[in-house]
Every structure is written in C-alpha cells, then in structure tokens.
Amino acid sequence: MTHHKPLRNICILGNIASGKSTLTKFLGASISNSIAIPENFDDNPFLKMFVADPPRWAFTNAVRYFYDYARVYHELTTGRAFEHYFFDAGGATNRYVYGRYLLAEKIITPEEAAFHELLCDMIQRAYAYPEPDAFIFLRASPEKCFARMNARGWGYQTQHIPLEYIVALEEYFRAYQSALQTQHARILELDSERMDFMSEAGRAEILRIVRAFMESF
C-alpha cells in the first residue's frame, strides 16, 4: 500500500462567487489545528483598474495578486504551526487559471506571461509559500456564479464583469482540473450549487465529506 504525505496545504478553487471564501473560512474554523488563508484582495489597488481596463492592468494586477497571496500566508503563519492550511484560491489559481486565461485570450503578451512566471517563482521562494498537497474544486454554473456575484453587490464587479467572462474562466478551471488529474493530484469536487451553509445539517454534511476526503490518503 502506498503511503502519501498528509494533506497539509489544501487549495480551494472555483469561479467567481462559487463559494471559495465561505468554504475556506468554514473549514479553517471547523477542523482542529487548521487555519484559513484568505484571498485578501482589498489590499490590491490594481484590481478595480484591471476590471475596468484589462489590457492595461492585467500584468500588474496578476503579480500583485500573487504577492498578496504569499504575503498574507507569511504574515498569518510565521512563528505558528498548523496541521492543515486551507487556501482561498491561492497562488495556483493565479498562475494556472488566470495566468493562462490572460495569455490565451491575448490580454497579456507572451513576454509578460514569462515575466509573471519568473516573478511568481521569486515571490514564492522569498515567502516560503507552499505548493498545494490537495485541491477542492467548487462547481457551480457560470449563470449561478453570475447571479451570486450580482447579489453580493460589489460595485466594480457588477459594473464591469459580464457573464461571458465567467463562462470563459470556467473553461480554464476545468482545464486545470483535467491537468491535475493526469498528474494524479488529490482532488475533491463539490457541488457549490447544492452546498448549504445556512443549516446545521448542511454544514455537517460538507464537513463530513471534506473530512472523509482528507482521511482517505
């Protein structure tokens, strides 16, 4: 029987408004000796600029996003040790979903994409930012994500992000999951449209499924 290393760093991925932040916070609070590493986009001054003018700000926004993922991880964990780290989106999403989307859609140039990769490598080493040991993919239709995005009322999103963008991103999330599957990565897929965080029974079911996944390796 092959023994795998424990699931220490777990990356939670999904489209905009798929429920990543909610699930990350819930798991960090519900599983003992764990911490949630948030997606701290409020510190990124380039995000709103990117949403309004992608070709002008895509590269700068992508680098700042990766920097913030690594910085927040470093700030929350330096001098502290946990058994499990739950990452909201995280560097993997930045590099292997959004980065590839920006390049394939010609929003950034190949030269910018290569420099983005180089800078991500440097930032990752500087902050000892870990690679994921496992992935939780949240699945919801682009239409459902779009409705949730509009319901939460973040002005810059509702004013500038069309449904077509979320539809396009979904293809890249699926491509990344497929690539990970060929590498035999440890993956759990959850139906974000069915998840119920409002009831005690719903939260208990989600926790049971995630625990079973974590304990299966």
Whether pLDDT at 1 is above 50: no
DSSP summary character for residue 107? S
Q: Tell me 42's DSSP state.
A: G
Quote the percentage of the chain above a pLDDT of 90.
Answer: 87
CATH of domain 9-215: 3.40.50.300
How confident is the model over 31-53, as a mean pLDDT?
Answer: 92
pLDDT band at 36 (very low <50, low <70, confident <90, very high): very high
- Dihedral sign, Cα of residue 191, residue 195, residue 157, residue 120: negative
Has residue 94 got a pLDDT over 80?
yes
Please say if the pLDDT value at position 3 is more than 60: no
Q: Using CA atoms, how far apart are residues 159 and 45, in angstroms rounded to an integer? A: 17
pLDDT higher than threshold 70 for residue 50: yes
Residue 212: CB partners within 8 Å, gap ≥ 6?
Answer: none
pLDDT of residue 28: 97
205: helix, strand or coil: helix
Crossing angle for the helix pair 163-182 and 142-152, to the nearest 10 degrees: 120
Contacts of 49 (CB under 8 A, 6+ apart): 56, 57, 61
Q: Kindly tell me if the per-residue pLDDT of 215 is higher than 70.
A: yes
Q: What's the mean pLDDT in 38-64?
A: 93
Q: Which residue has the higher pLDDT, 161 or 69?
A: 69
Q: What is the DSSP string of 123-138?
A: HHHHTTPPPPSEEEEE
pLDDT for 109-143, tens place per residue? 999 999 999 999 999 999 999 999 999 999 999 99
Average pLDDT, the chain: 93
Instruction: Spell out the domain ranges in the chain.
Output: 9-215
Q: What is the pLDDT of residue 185?
A: 96
Q: Rounded to the nearest 5°, which phi and psi values hold at 110?
A: -55, -35
Contacts of 196 (CB under 8 A, 6+ apart): 202, 203, 205, 206
Contact predicate 89/12, CB 8 Å: yes
Q: How many CB atoms lie within 10 A of CB 98?
A: 21
Residues 12, 22 contacting (CB under 8 angstroms)? no
d(CA 161, CA 150): 10
Distance set, CA 158 to CA 88, 95, 103, 161 (Å):
21, 25, 24, 6
| Amino acid occupying residue 98 | Y
- Per-residue pLDDT, 154: 62
At residue 40, the pLDDT reads 87
In tens, the pLDDT along 147-204 reads 999 888 766 565 678 999 999 999 999 999 999 999 999 999 999 999 999 999 999 9
99: its two tokens: 């980065």
Task: State what percent of residues in the chain have pLDDT above 70.
Answer: 95
Banded pLDDT at 22 (limits 50, 70, 90): very high
